[in-house]
Homo-oligomer: A and B are copies of this chain.
Protein backbone atom coordinates (compact mmCIF):
# COMPACT_ATOMS: atom_id res chain seq x y z
CA UNK A 1 0.00 0.00 0.00
CA UNK A 2 1.48 3.32 -1.03
CA UNK A 3 1.54 6.33 1.29
CA UNK A 4 -0.34 9.53 0.69
CA UNK A 5 2.22 12.14 -0.38
CA UNK A 6 2.23 15.92 -0.18
CA UNK A 7 1.56 17.87 -3.34
CA UNK A 8 5.15 19.09 -3.39
CA UNK A 9 6.42 15.52 -3.09
CA UNK A 10 3.96 14.37 -5.74
CA UNK A 11 5.33 16.92 -8.21
CA UNK A 12 8.88 15.94 -7.33
CA UNK A 13 8.15 12.23 -7.87
CA UNK A 14 6.51 12.99 -11.22
CA UNK A 15 9.46 15.11 -12.38
CA UNK A 16 12.05 12.56 -11.28
CA UNK A 17 10.32 9.74 -13.09
CA UNK A 18 9.52 11.36 -16.40
CA UNK A 19 11.63 12.79 -19.18
CA UNK A 20 11.06 15.92 -21.17
CA UNK A 21 9.32 14.42 -24.16
CA UNK A 22 8.43 17.49 -26.16
CA UNK A 23 9.67 17.95 -29.69
CA UNK A 24 10.29 21.39 -31.10
CA UNK A 25 8.86 22.88 -34.26
CA UNK A 26 8.88 26.23 -35.98
CA UNK A 27 5.62 28.06 -36.72
CA UNK A 28 4.90 31.38 -38.44
CA UNK A 29 4.50 34.27 -35.98
CA UNK A 30 0.86 34.66 -37.00
CA UNK A 31 0.13 31.10 -35.84
CA UNK A 32 2.15 31.22 -32.63
CA UNK A 33 -0.54 32.63 -30.32
CA UNK A 34 -1.11 30.23 -27.43
CA UNK A 35 1.98 28.17 -28.19
CA UNK A 36 4.92 27.80 -25.80
CA UNK A 37 8.42 29.04 -26.60
CA UNK A 38 10.91 26.19 -26.95
CA UNK A 39 13.96 28.46 -26.76
CA UNK A 40 15.02 31.69 -25.10
CA UNK A 41 14.56 34.55 -27.55
CA UNK A 42 17.80 36.54 -27.45
CA UNK A 43 17.69 39.85 -29.27
CA UNK A 44 20.30 40.25 -31.99
CA UNK A 45 19.41 43.89 -32.57
CA UNK A 46 18.38 47.01 -30.69
CA UNK A 47 14.72 48.02 -30.65
CA UNK A 48 14.46 50.73 -31.71
CA UNK A 49 17.62 50.52 -33.78
CA UNK A 50 18.17 54.30 -33.60
CA UNK A 51 17.41 57.24 -31.30
CA UNK A 52 13.86 58.47 -32.00
CA UNK A 53 11.82 61.44 -30.91
CA UNK A 54 8.55 60.90 -29.04
CA UNK A 55 7.14 64.31 -30.01
CA UNK A 56 6.52 66.46 -33.06
CA UNK A 57 8.96 69.35 -33.01
CA UNK A 58 12.70 69.94 -33.37
CA UNK A 59 15.72 67.75 -32.77
CA UNK A 60 18.24 69.79 -30.74
CA UNK A 61 21.34 69.68 -28.62
CA UNK A 62 19.76 70.03 -25.17
CA UNK A 63 22.56 72.31 -23.95
CA UNK A 64 21.56 74.86 -26.60
CA UNK A 65 18.16 75.27 -24.91
CA UNK A 66 19.33 75.65 -21.31
CA UNK A 67 17.87 78.81 -19.75
CA UNK A 68 15.34 79.36 -22.57
CA UNK A 69 12.16 81.19 -21.46
CA UNK A 70 9.20 82.92 -23.09
CA UNK A 71 11.00 86.22 -22.64
CA UNK A 72 14.36 84.93 -23.79
CA UNK A 73 13.91 82.06 -26.23
CA UNK A 74 16.88 80.10 -27.51
CA UNK A 75 17.41 80.83 -31.20
CA UNK A 76 18.47 77.85 -33.29
CA UNK A 77 19.16 77.58 -36.98
CA UNK A 78 16.84 75.12 -38.76
CA UNK A 79 19.18 73.15 -41.01
CA UNK A 80 16.61 70.73 -42.43
CA UNK A 81 13.73 68.40 -41.88
CA UNK A 82 13.90 64.71 -41.07
CA UNK A 83 11.17 62.78 -42.84
CA UNK A 84 9.66 59.66 -41.31
CA UNK A 85 11.53 56.52 -42.20
CA UNK A 86 14.52 58.47 -43.46
CA UNK A 87 18.09 58.12 -42.34
CA UNK A 88 19.00 61.40 -40.62
CA UNK A 89 22.45 61.73 -42.12
CA UNK A 90 23.27 65.42 -41.56
CA UNK A 91 24.90 66.11 -38.18
CA UNK A 92 23.74 68.89 -35.86
CA UNK A 93 26.29 71.42 -34.75
CA UNK A 94 25.89 73.65 -31.73
CA UNK A 95 23.19 76.28 -32.39
CA UNK A 96 21.42 74.14 -34.98
CA UNK A 97 18.18 72.13 -34.98
CA UNK A 98 16.15 70.00 -37.40
CA UNK A 99 12.39 69.65 -37.87
CA UNK A 100 11.22 66.19 -36.85
CA UNK A 101 7.98 64.22 -36.38
CA UNK A 102 7.11 61.74 -33.63
CA UNK A 103 9.06 58.55 -34.25
CA UNK A 104 11.59 60.23 -36.52
CA UNK A 105 15.31 59.45 -36.33
CA UNK A 106 17.47 61.90 -34.41
CA UNK A 107 20.37 63.28 -36.45
CA UNK A 108 23.92 62.73 -35.17
CA UNK A 109 24.74 65.34 -32.53
CA UNK A 110 21.15 65.77 -31.32
CA UNK A 111 20.36 64.48 -27.84
CA UNK A 112 16.82 65.76 -27.18
CA UNK A 113 13.68 67.05 -28.90
CA UNK A 114 11.66 70.21 -28.29
CA UNK A 115 7.88 70.04 -28.65
CA UNK A 116 6.54 72.17 -31.50
CA UNK A 117 4.12 73.77 -29.00
CA UNK A 118 7.10 75.35 -27.23
CA UNK A 119 8.56 76.90 -30.36
CA UNK A 120 8.01 79.53 -32.98
CA UNK A 121 9.76 80.04 -36.29
CA UNK A 122 11.10 83.12 -37.99
CA UNK A 123 12.62 82.49 -41.41
CA UNK A 124 15.14 79.71 -40.88
CA UNK A 125 15.27 80.33 -37.13
CA UNK A 126 13.49 78.25 -34.48
CA UNK A 127 12.68 80.11 -31.25
CA UNK A 128 12.64 77.67 -28.31
CA UNK A 129 10.67 78.93 -25.28
CA UNK A 130 11.30 76.03 -22.91
CA UNK A 131 14.53 74.23 -22.19
CA UNK A 132 14.83 70.45 -22.47
CA UNK A 133 17.15 68.14 -20.56
CA UNK A 134 19.46 65.73 -22.39
CA UNK A 135 17.46 62.68 -23.60
CA UNK A 136 14.15 64.52 -23.01
CA UNK A 137 11.40 63.51 -25.45
CA UNK A 138 13.43 60.79 -27.06
CA UNK A 139 13.53 57.00 -27.03
CA UNK A 140 17.13 55.88 -27.15
CA UNK A 141 18.42 53.07 -29.33
CA UNK A 142 17.70 49.79 -27.47
CA UNK A 143 15.37 51.43 -24.92
CA UNK A 144 12.67 48.87 -25.71
CA UNK A 145 14.85 45.79 -26.24
CA UNK A 146 18.62 45.89 -25.91
CA UNK A 147 20.67 43.80 -28.31
CA UNK A 148 22.09 40.70 -26.65
CA UNK A 149 19.48 40.47 -23.91
CA UNK A 150 16.98 37.66 -23.42
CA UNK A 151 13.74 39.26 -24.56
CA UNK A 152 11.55 36.20 -23.86
CA UNK A 153 12.28 33.06 -21.89
CA UNK A 154 11.88 29.43 -22.95
CA UNK A 155 8.62 28.08 -21.57
CA UNK A 156 6.72 31.35 -22.01
CA UNK A 157 3.17 31.01 -23.34
CA UNK A 158 2.83 33.33 -26.32
CA UNK A 159 0.08 35.88 -25.70
CA UNK A 160 -0.64 39.09 -27.56
CA UNK A 161 2.17 40.86 -25.69
CA UNK A 162 4.82 38.32 -26.71
CA UNK A 163 3.61 38.53 -30.30
CA UNK A 164 4.44 42.23 -30.22
CA UNK A 165 7.97 41.61 -28.97
CA UNK A 166 8.58 38.87 -31.55
CA UNK A 167 7.35 41.19 -34.30
CA UNK A 168 9.56 44.02 -33.03
CA UNK A 169 12.56 41.67 -33.27
CA UNK A 170 11.55 40.49 -36.73
CA UNK A 171 11.14 36.88 -35.64
CA UNK A 172 8.66 35.61 -38.20
CA UNK A 173 9.28 31.91 -37.50
CA UNK A 174 8.90 31.03 -33.85
CA UNK A 175 10.47 27.97 -32.16
CA UNK A 176 7.69 26.34 -30.13
CA UNK A 177 7.06 23.03 -28.46
CA UNK A 178 4.90 20.36 -30.02
CA UNK A 179 2.61 19.95 -27.05
CA UNK A 180 1.80 16.45 -25.82
CA UNK A 181 -1.15 14.40 -27.00
CA UNK A 182 -3.34 13.67 -23.98
CA UNK A 183 -5.85 10.82 -23.95
CA UNK A 184 -8.79 11.29 -21.58
CA UNK A 185 -10.72 8.35 -20.20
CA UNK A 186 -13.69 8.70 -17.87
CA UNK A 187 -14.78 5.73 -15.77
CA UNK A 188 -17.74 5.02 -13.51
CA UNK A 189 -20.83 2.80 -13.48
CA UNK A 190 -22.96 5.90 -12.91
CA UNK A 191 -21.44 7.90 -15.77
CA UNK A 192 -23.37 8.04 -19.06
CA UNK A 193 -22.74 9.93 -22.27
CA UNK A 194 -26.41 10.31 -23.13
CA UNK A 195 -29.49 11.25 -21.10
CA UNK A 196 -29.13 10.08 -17.49
CA UNK A 197 -31.67 7.80 -15.81
CA UNK A 198 -32.29 8.09 -12.06
CA UNK A 199 -29.01 7.24 -10.30
CA UNK A 200 -26.94 8.15 -13.36
CA UNK A 201 -25.10 11.34 -14.15
CA UNK A 202 -23.73 12.82 -17.31
CA UNK A 203 -20.06 12.50 -18.21
CA UNK A 204 -18.66 15.91 -17.27
CA UNK A 205 -14.99 15.02 -16.88
CA UNK A 206 -14.41 14.08 -20.52
CA UNK A 207 -15.51 17.55 -21.60
CA UNK A 208 -14.01 19.46 -18.69
CA UNK A 209 -10.59 17.82 -18.98
CA UNK A 210 -10.65 18.06 -22.78
CA UNK A 211 -11.21 21.80 -22.47
CA UNK A 212 -8.57 22.19 -19.74
CA UNK A 213 -5.95 20.31 -21.77
CA UNK A 214 -6.88 22.12 -24.97
CA UNK A 215 -6.64 25.48 -23.20
CA UNK A 216 -3.20 24.39 -22.01
CA UNK A 217 -2.21 23.96 -25.66
CA UNK A 218 -2.32 20.16 -25.79
CA UNK A 219 -3.89 17.92 -28.39
CA UNK A 220 -6.66 15.85 -26.85
CA UNK A 221 -8.00 12.38 -27.64
CA UNK A 222 -11.22 12.02 -25.67
CA UNK A 223 -11.88 8.31 -25.21
CA UNK A 224 -15.24 8.80 -23.53
CA UNK A 225 -16.88 7.08 -20.57
CA UNK A 226 -16.53 3.38 -19.72
CA UNK A 227 -17.96 1.18 -16.99
CA UNK A 228 -15.99 0.22 -13.88
CA UNK A 229 -15.07 -3.22 -15.20
CA UNK A 230 -11.50 -4.39 -15.07
CA UNK A 231 -11.30 -5.78 -18.61
CA UNK A 232 -13.02 -2.74 -20.10
CA UNK A 233 -10.71 -0.28 -18.37
CA UNK A 234 -7.65 -2.40 -19.15
CA UNK A 235 -8.48 -2.45 -22.87
CA UNK A 236 -9.30 1.27 -22.92
CA UNK A 237 -6.11 2.19 -21.09
CA UNK A 238 -3.99 0.11 -23.47
CA UNK A 239 -5.54 1.87 -26.43
CA UNK A 240 -4.95 5.29 -24.82
CA UNK A 241 -1.31 4.44 -24.04
CA UNK A 242 -0.74 3.43 -27.66
CA UNK A 243 -2.20 6.64 -29.08
CA UNK A 244 -1.16 9.36 -26.63
CA UNK A 245 1.87 10.78 -24.79
CA UNK A 246 0.01 11.21 -21.51
CA UNK A 247 -3.17 9.51 -20.22
CA UNK A 248 -5.69 10.96 -17.79
CA UNK A 249 -8.09 8.46 -16.30
CA UNK A 250 -10.74 10.11 -14.16
CA UNK A 251 -12.12 7.55 -11.78
CA UNK A 252 -15.66 6.60 -11.03
CA UNK A 253 -16.46 7.14 -7.40
CA UNK A 254 -17.54 3.58 -6.62
CA UNK A 255 -15.79 2.15 -3.59
CA UNK A 256 -12.94 -0.01 -4.82
CA UNK A 257 -12.65 1.61 -8.23
CA UNK A 258 -9.50 3.44 -7.28
CA UNK A 259 -7.93 0.20 -6.20
CA UNK A 260 -8.91 -1.28 -9.54
CA UNK A 261 -7.16 1.53 -11.43
CA UNK A 262 -4.08 1.11 -9.24
CA UNK A 263 -4.15 -2.62 -9.82
CA UNK A 264 -4.45 -2.21 -13.58
CA UNK A 265 -1.57 0.29 -13.62
CA UNK A 266 0.51 -2.09 -11.55
CA UNK A 267 -0.24 -4.86 -14.02
CA UNK A 268 0.63 -2.76 -17.07
CA UNK A 269 3.41 -0.69 -15.55
CA UNK A 270 4.26 0.94 -12.23
CA UNK A 271 2.43 3.10 -9.69
CA UNK A 272 4.51 5.83 -8.02
CA UNK A 273 1.97 7.22 -5.60
CA UNK A 274 -1.66 6.73 -4.71
CA UNK A 275 -3.14 9.64 -2.83
CA UNK A 276 -2.12 13.28 -2.35
CA UNK A 277 -2.64 15.13 0.93
CA UNK A 278 -4.82 17.77 -0.67
CA UNK A 279 -8.49 18.63 -0.78
CA UNK A 280 -10.05 18.37 -3.23
CA UNK A 281 -7.94 15.80 -5.04
CA UNK A 282 -6.90 13.20 -2.49
CA UNK A 283 -7.58 10.07 -4.63
CA UNK A 284 -4.95 10.96 -7.23
CA UNK A 285 -2.73 8.29 -8.75
CA UNK A 286 0.46 8.62 -10.72
CA UNK A 287 1.94 5.77 -12.66
CA UNK A 288 3.82 4.97 -15.83
CA UNK A 289 2.97 2.46 -18.52
CA UNK A 290 5.39 1.82 -21.39
CA UNK A 291 7.29 4.89 -20.22
CA UNK A 292 4.22 7.12 -20.53
CA UNK A 293 2.80 9.04 -17.59
CA UNK A 294 -0.71 8.06 -16.47
CA UNK A 295 -2.60 10.28 -14.05
CA UNK A 296 -5.55 8.83 -12.14
CA UNK A 297 -7.86 11.74 -11.34
CA UNK A 298 -10.81 11.90 -8.93
CA UNK A 299 -14.24 11.27 -10.41
CA UNK A 300 -15.79 14.44 -9.00
CA UNK A 301 -15.47 17.13 -11.63
CA UNK A 302 -14.29 19.92 -9.33
CA UNK A 303 -11.66 17.63 -7.78
CA UNK A 304 -10.60 16.41 -11.23
CA UNK A 305 -10.26 20.02 -12.32
CA UNK A 306 -8.06 20.95 -9.35
CA UNK A 307 -5.82 17.94 -9.88
CA UNK A 308 -5.47 18.87 -13.53
CA UNK A 309 -4.75 22.47 -12.57
CA UNK A 310 -2.27 21.75 -9.78
CA UNK A 311 -0.61 18.51 -10.86
CA UNK A 312 -1.05 17.81 -14.59
CA UNK A 313 -0.74 21.44 -15.67
CA UNK A 314 2.33 21.92 -13.47
CA UNK A 315 3.83 18.79 -15.03
CA UNK A 316 3.24 20.31 -18.47
CA UNK A 317 4.95 23.51 -17.31
CA UNK A 318 7.89 21.35 -16.27
CA UNK A 319 7.96 19.72 -19.71
CA UNK A 320 8.23 23.15 -21.33
CA UNK A 321 10.94 24.36 -18.97
CA UNK A 322 8.63 26.98 -17.44
CA UNK A 323 9.22 27.88 -13.78
CA UNK A 324 6.68 26.86 -11.14
CA UNK A 325 3.55 28.97 -11.52
CA UNK A 326 3.31 32.16 -9.50
CA UNK A 327 0.15 33.56 -7.93
CA UNK A 328 -1.50 36.36 -9.89
CA UNK A 329 -2.00 38.58 -6.86
CA UNK A 330 -2.61 38.89 -3.12
CA UNK A 331 -5.79 39.87 -1.31
CA UNK A 332 -7.26 39.82 2.19
CA UNK A 333 -9.83 37.30 3.38
CA UNK A 334 -13.28 38.68 4.18
CA UNK A 335 -13.89 35.93 6.75
CA UNK A 336 -12.24 33.15 8.73
CA UNK A 337 -11.60 29.96 6.78
CA UNK A 338 -11.17 26.82 8.85
CA UNK A 339 -9.16 23.96 7.39
CA UNK A 340 -8.08 20.48 8.40
CA UNK A 341 -4.55 20.18 9.67
CA UNK A 342 -2.58 17.65 7.66
CA UNK A 343 -3.83 18.28 4.17
CA UNK A 344 -3.47 21.22 1.86
CA UNK A 345 -6.82 22.72 0.95
CA UNK A 346 -7.83 24.64 -2.17
CA UNK A 347 -10.87 26.88 -2.43
CA UNK A 348 -12.54 28.78 -5.23
CA UNK A 349 -12.92 32.46 -4.31
CA UNK A 350 -14.55 35.65 -5.53
CA UNK A 351 -13.86 39.27 -4.59
CA UNK A 352 -16.49 41.21 -2.68
CA UNK A 353 -17.20 44.91 -3.34
CA UNK A 354 -14.28 45.99 -1.18
CA UNK A 355 -11.85 43.63 -2.91
CA UNK A 356 -11.69 41.06 -0.14
CA UNK A 357 -11.84 37.35 -0.83
CA UNK A 358 -14.94 35.28 -0.17
CA UNK A 359 -14.89 31.49 -0.72
CA UNK A 360 -17.43 30.11 -3.18
CA UNK A 361 -18.87 27.51 -0.88
CA UNK A 362 -19.62 24.18 -2.39
CA UNK A 363 -19.89 20.50 -1.83
CA UNK A 364 -17.46 18.20 -3.53
CA UNK A 365 -18.25 17.54 -7.15
CA UNK A 366 -20.19 20.69 -7.81
CA UNK A 367 -19.03 22.15 -11.07
CA UNK A 368 -20.93 25.43 -11.32
CA UNK A 369 -18.70 27.11 -8.69
CA UNK A 370 -15.89 27.14 -11.23
CA UNK A 371 -17.92 29.59 -13.32
CA UNK A 372 -18.62 31.85 -10.34
CA UNK A 373 -15.05 31.82 -9.05
CA UNK A 374 -12.55 34.53 -9.92
CA UNK A 375 -9.58 32.53 -8.72
CA UNK A 376 -8.51 30.09 -6.05
CA UNK A 377 -6.43 30.07 -2.90
CA UNK A 378 -4.50 27.35 -1.11
CA UNK A 379 -4.33 26.77 2.64
CA UNK A 380 -1.15 25.19 3.92
CA UNK A 381 -1.44 21.65 5.25
CA UNK A 382 0.29 22.71 8.48
CA UNK A 383 -2.44 25.26 9.14
CA UNK A 384 -5.78 24.84 10.83
CA UNK A 385 -7.27 27.68 8.88
CA UNK A 386 -6.66 31.30 7.96
CA UNK A 387 -8.07 34.28 9.83
CA UNK A 388 -10.23 37.03 8.41
CA UNK A 389 -8.07 39.93 7.22
CA UNK A 390 -5.05 37.77 6.41
CA UNK A 391 -3.49 38.54 3.04
CA UNK A 392 -3.23 35.42 0.90
CA UNK A 393 -2.00 34.58 -2.58
CA UNK A 394 -4.61 34.17 -5.30
CA UNK A 395 -4.12 31.96 -8.35
CA UNK A 396 -6.09 32.15 -11.55
CA UNK A 397 -8.28 29.19 -12.43
Contacts and interface: CB of A to CB of B under 8 A. Distances in A.
Of the candidates A199, A254, A255, the one having the most CB atoms from chain B within 10 angstroms of its own CB is: A199
Interface residues of A, number: 93
A367 to B, nearest CB: 4
B391 A160 contact: no
B331 A56 contact: no
A165 interface: yes
Contacts of A197: 87
A102 B253 contact: yes
Interface string A350-374: 0100110000000111111011011
Nearest to A30: B210
Contacts of A151: 368
A367 B165 contact: yes
Interface in A124-139: 139
A203 B167 contact: yes
A207 interface: yes
A145 interface: yes
B199 A371 contact: no
A300 to B, nearest CB: 8
B397 A199 contact: no
A306 to B, nearest CB: 12
Contacts of A195: 170
A206 B167 contact: yes
User: Main SS of the interface on chain A?
Assistant: loop
A83 interface: yes
A366 B139 CA distance: 9
Interface in A25-43: 29-30, 33
Interface string A155-185: 0000111111111111000000000000000
Nearest to A198: B87
A281 interface: no
A151 B391 CA distance: 32
A189 B85 contact: yes
Given A49-B198, A299-B103, A394-B329, A164 B88 contact: no
B211 A33 contact: yes
A204 interface: yes
A301 interface: yes
Interface in A219-236: 222, 228
Contacts of A212: 160
Interface of A: 29-30, 33, 47-50, 54, 56, 82-88, 101-105, 139, 143-145, 151-152, 159-170, 188-192, 195-204, 206-208, 210-212, 214-215, 222, 228, 252-255, 299-301, 305, 328-331, 351, 354-355, 363-368, 370-371, 373-375, 391, 394, 397
20 contacts: A56-B255, A84-B254, A85-B188, A85-B192, A85-B199, A87-B197, A87-B198, A103-B190, A105-B198, A159-B211, A160-B208, A160-B370, A164-B301, A165-B367, A167-B207, A170-B202, A328-B374, A329-B394, A330-B331, A330-B354
